[in-house]
Amino acid sequence: MLETPALQRNATLPAPLDTRYQVETPEGIDLPLRPAGLMPRAIAFTIDLGIRGLVLGFFFLVLAFFGELGLGLGSILLFVVSWWYMVLFEVLNQGRSPGKQIMGLRVVQDDGRPIGWSASLIRNLLRFVDMLPFGYTFGAICCLQHPAFKRLGDLAAGTLVVYREQPVKRPALPMASPTRTPFTLTLQEQRAVLGFAERQAELSQARVDELAAILAVPLNVQVPNATAELNGIARGLLGPT
Amino acid sequence: MRLSDATVVIRPRTTWEAMDLGVLMSQQHRRLLMTSWAIITLPAYLLLTLLLWDSPSLVVMLFWWLKPAFDRLPLYILSKALFGETPTLRQALRQWPALLKPQLLASLTWRRLSLSRSFLMPVVQLEGLAGEARQQRIRVLLQRNRGASQWLTIIGMHLETALWFGLMALFYLFVPQQVELQWDWETLVSAAEHDWLWFEHLVNFLYPLLLILWEPVYVACGFSLYLNRRTILEAWDIELVFRRLRQRLSGVAPVLLLLALVMLPLAPPAFAAEDNNAPDSPRLLNQPLTSEAARDGIEAILDAPPFKNPETVTRYRFGEETAESADETEAKPNWLKALFKWLGSQRFDIAAALIQIALWACLIGAIVWLAWHYRERLKALVNRRPTPRLPIERAAPARMFGLDIREESLPTDIAASVEQLWATQPREALGLLYRALLSRLYHDFKIPLKPSDTEGQVLQRVEQLKQDNLLGFSKVLTLHWQNIAYGHRPPPTHLQQELCDGWRGLFGPGASR
């Protein structure tokens, strides 16, 4: 049973595993979302838990001086914080509670739209199912076994926790005089050449030369000059800056 | 290791995303990973329990300590599966004792408490590095992802605890109500001191159970972190694309070479003559199924349905008339001959002619009647009077290139207006002059200008007039008009006099419109 069936010779290969989640808009545009797994979400939750604990602790200390009234107000506060903290932050702060904000996460609908009141309420009410029987056992197991890392509340509400897109810094390309490729490059190949130039600072010089040597023959240059040639092509692809 | 065979998308990811990839990898092979893990750990745990029945805590402690030894199996499976060679359960289990050999003692003693354990495990197990080389590699790897790998272990510890309590709670929930359990803290605490050993063993047994769920994920996350670190360090994704690009480009060259060889006109014909490997020549004669037999079989199949569908069709048609008429002439009776002879005689000629005329008259009458009957429709179909074709009047274009060329819009003395405008507004001056020229061309020289014409086309039409003066003037004016209109290059100052004189020379000294 555990043996994977041998692939037919002309069977299409299964798509390689990736952490991207494609959403297709009606216009036919693919929006790649990156669902976030258990680890960053656990840390985000811990941060939120800490913040809630601090807030509640502070107010309880203050309210302790007010006797019966303080007890009543404290109960109301407890209700609001434990049930509405996540909902209010998610709906009013673009799907980001403070913990998620720190971890670079946000909650969206399955199709990438911002989360609304109903979805947020469902997702956070079912948090108590995820917590069963103790300490998020069901939620953790579900999150680890779901391909888009959803816990039960996410499944019910149709929501997704994704990584926010972070602003990109302008990469520094090594200086070279721009040249043109002797052959046409596909978009992916252009990106690879640009990536080669951009990430050169992180790579060792030997590795850079090794990578460039792969393309020495098609580029019609000597192996030692291949790096400079590729940098020139990258400059050419980048255009005037 | 061939990167092109990788079953995951290789690209640089953030550390958290790299861990997510590990979770996905463990999901993809979850049955194999969990089963193999259970098969090696549960017997080991049971053995430990039996050996150390009196000290349950020690059993869990020892078992926890031995985790790195068990972890090597999931890592082996994942590393194989990464390149599409997923081992079967049997193969994986058989491999495990061999996996234990390298540096087991180190990983169970001074490296046991390392928080980056799963991240660094592939260095020993997959790269087979030891001593200084290993130290160096680890130093490079830990430059970036140290924090993430430690977080992974810390989260793992907490998750294990949470799952343990969770399973305990679940177990408690499943205890039927009929079983009267007076559990409170006091009895639970005293249980450890009394003879409730079986209960403690039961609770402890939940730990290996939850590890079946978690430990493969932990190993996979460490492995994917390691993969991601190396992808970033060595630019694996770029290497992949570059190799593919080289393959694509080098794939074109042999095809061209082959094409050239095929096109070669001087190919010696002797080779072709000696070649007896043509598809039709009998081959494979020394075996039960020869090529002949095969071809016969193929043809037999091709002759039968569904490739060919022969069909017998029966229908009536006229028989062979010639033969029958020959018979009839013989059998013709005499009275018929006499009748024909009588009919063929002269006296019926007139009657025949009359009948003929009558028949023709009927035909013509029928046609005429039909034509009369449908006269209205015929009128509609055949229009005898062609509608007079409307004369095509081309409306005078009011504007060319956005310039108004109606005579009314022009000033009376063009040249004077141009001279006046020249100093302050050269653009307006040239525009006015060009506008006036177009207007003249259209109204005086009757050049059929269209609003869609370009300046060049206007010049071509002027050329057709064969008037050198006009052509020269138009060329100079057009050139400078285009310069100022599109290029914003002002005309030289001496041009003013030249153009105004040209205008006056062409269209009279008064230079009215």
Kindly state the DSSP code that residue B221 receives in the 8-state scheme.
H
- Please tell me which residue, A102 or B273, carries the higher pLDDT value: A102
Q: Hey, where are the domains in chain A? A: 38-163, 187-238
At A172-231, the pLDDT tens digits run 888 888 888 888 889 999 999 999 999 998 889 999 999 999 988 888 888 888 999 999
Query: Which tokens is B109 given?
Result: 């003693």
Q: Kindly determine whether residue B16 and residue A39, on different chains, have CB atoms separated by under 8 Å.
A: yes
Mean pLDDT along residues B37-45: 95
Q: Hey, where are the domains in chain B? A: 3-241, 352-381, 399-507
At B323-378, the pLDDT tens digits run 555 455 555 667 777 777 776 666 677 888 899 999 999 999 999 999 998 888 88
HEC string for B140-188: HHHHHHHHHHHHHHHHHHHHHHHHHHHHHHHHHHCCCCCCCCCCCHHHH
Q: Which of residues 183-212 of A touch B (CB under 8 A)?
A: 183, 185, 188-189, 191-192, 195-196, 199, 202-203, 207, 211
- Tell me the CA distances in angstroms from A181 to A178, A186, A216, one per residue in order: 10, 12, 12
Which ranges of B174-235 would DSSP assign to H, the alpha helix?
185-193, 197-234
pLDDT of A107 strictly over 70: yes
At B383-418, the pLDDT tens digits run 666 555 555 555 566 677 777 777 777 887 888 888
pLDDT of B513 strictly over 50: no
In whole angstroms, give the CA distance from residue B273 to residue B510: 94
State the amino acid at position B279 in one-letter form. Answer: P
pLDDT at B266: 39
Across the strands, what pairs with B403? B400
Query: Which tokens is B456 given?
Result: 């060049």
In whole angstroms, give the CA distance from residue A15 to residue B8: 8
At B21-34, the pLDDT tens digits run 999 999 999 999 99
Across the strands, what pairs with B169? none
Closest partner residue to A211 (CB to CB) among B25, B158, B238 is: B238
Residues 6 or more apart from A130 whose CB is under 8 A from it?
A136, A138, A139, A142, A151, A152, A153
Q: Are B35 and B91 in contact (CB under 8 A)?
A: no
Cis geometry, peptide bond prior to residue A133 (ω within 30 degrees of 0): yes
CA contacts within 13 A on the Cβ side of B336: 6
pLDDT at B386: 57
Mean pLDDT of chain B: 82
Q: Kindly determine whether residue B235 and residue A199, on different chains, have CB atoms separated by under 8 Å.
A: yes
User: How far B36 CA sits from the closest chain A CA (Å)?
Assistant: 10
Closest to B151 in 3D by CA, of B222, B215, B75: B222
Residues 6 or more apart from A104 whose CB is under 8 A from it?
A40, A163, A164, A166
* Mutation choice for A interface testing from B165, B242, B246, B249 by most A CBs within 10 A: B242
**CA angle (B470 as vertex; B466, B471 as ends), nearest 5:** 65
State the pLDDT confidence band at A4, using cuts at 50, 70 and 90. Answer: very low
pLDDT of B306 strictly over 70: yes
**Among the ranges A17-26, A154-163, B468-477, which has the highest mean pLDDT value?**
A154-163
- Please tell me which residue, A1 or B475, carries the higher pLDDT value: B475
Residue in the structure block whose two tokens are 């653009």: B427
Residues 6 or more apart from A18 whose CB is under 8 A from it?
B8, B9, B21, B24
In whole angstroms, give the CA distance from residue A1 to residue B88: 9
Q: Are B162 and A134 in contact (CB under 8 A)?
A: yes
Cis geometry, peptide bond prior to residue B492 (ω within 30 degrees of 0): no
pLDDT at B110: 86
- Please tell me which residue, B429 or B194, carries the higher pLDDT value: B429
pLDDT at B180: 59
Which ranges of chain A would DSSP assign to H, the alpha helix?
38-63, 67-92, 98-103, 117-125, 127-130, 137-145, 152-157, 187-198, 205-214, 216-219, 226-238
Report if pTM > 0.80: no
Q: Kindly determine whether residue A17 and residue B162, on different chains, have CB atoms separated by under 8 Å.
A: no
At A36-93, the pLDDT tens digits run 999 999 999 999 999 999 999 999 999 888 888 888 888 889 999 989 999 999 999 9
pLDDT at A207: 92
Length of chain B: 513
At A139-153, the pLDDT tens digits run 999 999 999 999 999
State the pLDDT confidence band at B440, using cuts at 50, 70 and 90. Answer: confident
Mean pLDDT along residues B258-283: 50
Element (H, E) at A163: strand A159-163
Q: Is A140 on the interface with B (CB under 8 A)?
A: yes
Backbone angles phi, psi at A109, to 5 degrees: -70, 170
- Please tell me which residue, A163 or B287, carries the higher pLDDT value: A163
Q: Are B405 and B453 in contact (CB under 8 A)?
A: no
User: How far A146 CA sits from the closest chain B CA (Å)?
Assistant: 8
- Tell me the CA distances in angstroms from B499 to B419, B477, B511, one per residue in order: 10, 7, 12
In whole angstroms, give the CA distance from residue B271 to residue B278: 12
Residue in the structure block whose two tokens are 């059998």: B331
pLDDT at B380: 79
The per-residue b/e assignment along B390-419, b for 16 or more CB within 10 angstroms, e otherwise, is: eeeeeeebeebbebebeeeebeeebbebbe
In whole angstroms, give the CA distance from residue B137 to residue B149: 16
Backbone angles phi, psi at A31, to 5 degrees: -100, 115
Residues 6 or more apart from B87 whose CB is under 8 A from it?
B32, B76, B77, B80, B81, B95
Mean pLDDT along residues B37-47: 95
Interface confidence: ipTM more than 0.85:
yes
Q: Kindly determine whether residue B163 and residue A196, on different chains, have CB atoms separated by under 8 Å.
A: no
Closest to B49 in 3D by CA, of B210, B212, B214, B207: B207
Residues in chain A with CB shorter than 8 Å from the CB of B170 are 133, 137
In whole angstroms, give the CA distance from residue B62 to residue B58: 6
